[in-house]
A and B are shown apart, each in its own frame.
Chain A
């Protein structure tokens, strides 16, 4: 699905990623763990083409194409989705209008018939109900005045409706109560299939108990230093990142 090779990223004048090599397989759920400041969010920003990041070296091959110079909107249309750690609040933009605009853009890109307003509303209501969201969020301004949990559910709602191929979830579990965590995890599980790839960034195993990841990576000081199975999560939970340091 995506092959990242020797990726070096600067933000401002500071080098954050110092040669990341990472392969995310089609149909698999990958987890990325690492200390604060290790470069996890920067990696997801690089994949979606955030204006902050400056790729100084390396490549990001997605479906056989190096996307380093592709615009963020085109990357999204090609199927890459990032659930933001802190989604922005945009007062005055209706949630449903925004999401239908995004869905219609994708449908046009894929040369499909555009979903009309009535059908979209039905689709949105169905997902809102499944995620346990309040129906009034359909008509509210995008993330404006939402609680942390509501914002995270809204990210999952967008993910479910846009049906991307590569899903990057940046600390989707942070700040969620037990019910919200379960609802978000169920949303993720509904989209898991043999064609879709997930990269979940998290500090805790709570959400992973619901999702059951396939592969775990550890990022340290701008590089992937360890890749393994779920046992790596157990190791980090019990011994911390020092356990990885000993192996290096």
Chain B
């Protein structure tokens, strides 16, 4: 399958060698085996000019069909032509998506700010590929809520990604909500986050739509940095959805916490494939990883692969994964108080999701995600 990719990139292109480098490991991954990667590799993409000269100052950062239409006050937007890609990324699609875009959207955050990124797609004919580069300045605190929406789009694809750099002591909360409707947009996001010393990243994704969506993250942690990662996936019908991550503790005293929760109904497939690597020099690291999945239907499938790769003795680390149905004792407890079985099951599924939603540090983001979840969840007769 990766031959398709090699055929699409010139052998002289520097990314060609990068793709060859990661190829052998890539074919062993859960997403390669269980997500429709091939469909993304075969698609012909359109890469539009990224920053419209007509982009206006507004309330949010609005990216329509891959081009910036509106940007909030305090956010510096420009086009970036020569970007130094992450040379050690594990995902061939990271290099593939970079090879497709000539210009990237560059967002520079040099003062404390809170804003939304709204991706809007209304083009059914052209699959899109675009990338965003974000730099959070030294000691800057930034909060971003990212959302995808579509207007009348049928069965289109987006190959997307962000390269984010948090400079020393920066603090970034990035929450992504996504409730795309059936047969609208399939998304593959391949990202890179570089968290410098004493910086802190809170990255939380809430994928609750009815299309195929996969996000791939590489996260690099420097000394005394921190990454709080959380992923909620709610899949129905035949959707395939998941999160892939590699978290690298490169220096001492970094901390990473990754919590994934997946709810699968009907014939949905969930994927969680994540590895935390603690380097020899990354002494006194703390690394915790956990994946929990609830299967609401016997036809639903979950592929979970939590991994730790540790090259130092002085650290605190744990990882784990559970896949099961709803807790019978909890269900009985609710029913024993007169709550009907269907309602009791709904309460338990909501509670499973709420533990991640409640943990978002920004209450305004948490409120948005909860509203989205309730809207999607209550619309479906799941149980």
Select B355's contact among A88, A92, A158, beta carbons within 8 Å.
A92
| Chain B residues positioned under 8 Å from A99 (CB to CB) | 337
Cβ contact within 8 Å between A91 and B351: yes
Q: Which residue of B lies closest to A75 (CB)?
A: B336
Cβ contact within 8 Å between A93 and B351: yes
| Chain B residues positioned under 8 Å from A98 (CB to CB) | 334, 337, 347
How many residue pairs at the A-B interface have CB separations less than 8 Å?
A: 72
- Total interface residues on B, CB under 8 Å, equals 25
| Chain B residues positioned under 8 Å from A32 (CB to CB) | none
B335 CB-CB contact with A under 8 Å = yes
CA A114 to CA B288, docked complex, whole Å: 44
CA A98 to CA B330, docked complex, whole Å: 12
Cβ contact within 8 Å between A72 and B336: yes
Q: Which residue of B lies closest to A99 (CB)?
A: B337
CA A158 to CA B334, docked complex, whole Å: 12
Q: Which residue of B lies closest to A86 (CB)?
A: B329
Q: Which residue of B lies closest to A78 (CB)?
A: B338
User: From residue A57, how far is it (CB to closest CB) to chain B in Å?
Assistant: 23
Known: A88-B329, A101-B343, A105-B340. A71 touches B351 (CB 8 A): no
Select B338's contact among A50, A93, A109, beta carbons within 8 Å.
A109
A9 CB-CB contact with B under 8 Å = no
Chain B 323-337, CB-CB to A under 8 Å as 1, else 0, gives: 000011110111111
Select B333's contact among A81, A90, A101, beta carbons within 8 Å.
A90
Select A92's contact among B333, B338, B343, B352, beta carbons within 8 Å.
B352
B259 CB-CB contact with A under 8 Å = no
User: From residue A162, how far is it (CB to closest CB) to chain B in Å?
Assistant: 7
| Chain A residues positioned under 8 Å from B382 (CB to CB) | none
Cβ contact within 8 Å between A92 and B336: no
Known: A90-B351, A93-B351, A98-B347. A106 touches B330 (CB 8 A): no
A200 CB-CB contact with B under 8 Å = no
| Chain B residues positioned under 8 Å from A199 (CB to CB) | none
Residues from 122 to 178 in A contacting B, C-beta threshold 8 Å: 141, 158, 162
Cβ contact within 8 Å between A51 and B355: no
Select A158's contact among B330, B337, B350, beta carbons within 8 Å.
B337
> Interface size for chain A: under 10, 10 to 19, 20 to 34, or 35 or more residues?
20 to 34
CA A91 to CA B348, docked complex, whole Å: 9
- Determine which residue in A81, A84, A93, A105 has the highest number of CB atoms from chain B within 10 A of its CB, and name it: A93
CA A91 to CA B354, docked complex, whole Å: 9
Cβ contact within 8 Å between A88 and B327: yes
CA A87 to CA B330, docked complex, whole Å: 9
- Determine which residue in A71, A91, A99 has the highest number of CB atoms from chain B within 10 A of its CB, and name it: A91
Q: Which residue of B lies closest to A87 (CB)?
A: B333
B339 CB-CB contact with A under 8 Å = yes
Cβ contact within 8 Å between B354 and A92: yes
CA A76 to CA B11, docked complex, whole Å: 71
Cβ contact within 8 Å between A101 and B328: no
B358 CB-CB contact with A under 8 Å = yes
Cβ contact within 8 Å between B347 and A162: no
Q: Which residue of A lies closest to B349 (CB)?
A: A92
CA A99 to CA B339, docked complex, whole Å: 10
Q: Which residue of A lies closest to B327 (CB)?
A: A88
Q: Which residue of B lies closest to A102 (CB)?
A: B337
Select A71's contact among B335, B347, B348, beta carbons within 8 Å.
B335
Select A72's contact among B332, B347, B348, B354, beta carbons within 8 Å.
B332
CA A90 to CA B327, docked complex, whole Å: 10
A218 CB-CB contact with B under 8 Å = no
CA A50 to CA B332, docked complex, whole Å: 7
Residues from 331 to 374 in B contacting A, C-beta threshold 8 Å: 332-341, 343-344, 347-348, 350-355, 358
Q: Which residue of A lies closest to B337 (CB)?
A: A102
- Determine which residue in B327, B330, B338 has the highest number of CB atoms from chain A within 10 A of its CB, and name it: B338
User: From residue A235, how far is it (CB to closest CB) to chain B in Å?
Assistant: 33
Select B335's contact among A76, A93, A109, A158, beta carbons within 8 Å.
A76
Cβ contact within 8 Å between A73 and B333: no
Known: A88-B327, A105-B340. A73 touches B347 (CB 8 A): no
Known: A73-B340, A98-B347. A92 touches B335 (CB 8 A): no
| Chain B residues positioned under 8 Å from A84 (CB to CB) | 333, 336
Q: Which residue of B lies closest to A90 (CB)?
A: B330
Cβ contact within 8 Å between A91 and B355: yes
Give residues in B with beta carbon < 8 Å to A: 327-330, 332-341, 343-344, 347-348, 350-355, 358
Give residues in A with beta carbon < 8 Å to B: 48, 50-51, 71-73, 76-77, 81-82, 84, 87-88, 90-93, 98-99, 101-102, 105-106, 109, 141, 158, 162
Known pairs A72-B332, A76-B336, A93-B347; list 8 more (Cβ under 8 Å). Answer: A51-B328, A81-B337, A88-B329, A98-B334, A101-B339, A105-B337, A105-B338, A105-B343
In the A-B complex, the 5 residue pairs with the closest CB atoms: A92-B351, A92-B354, A76-B338, A102-B337, A93-B351
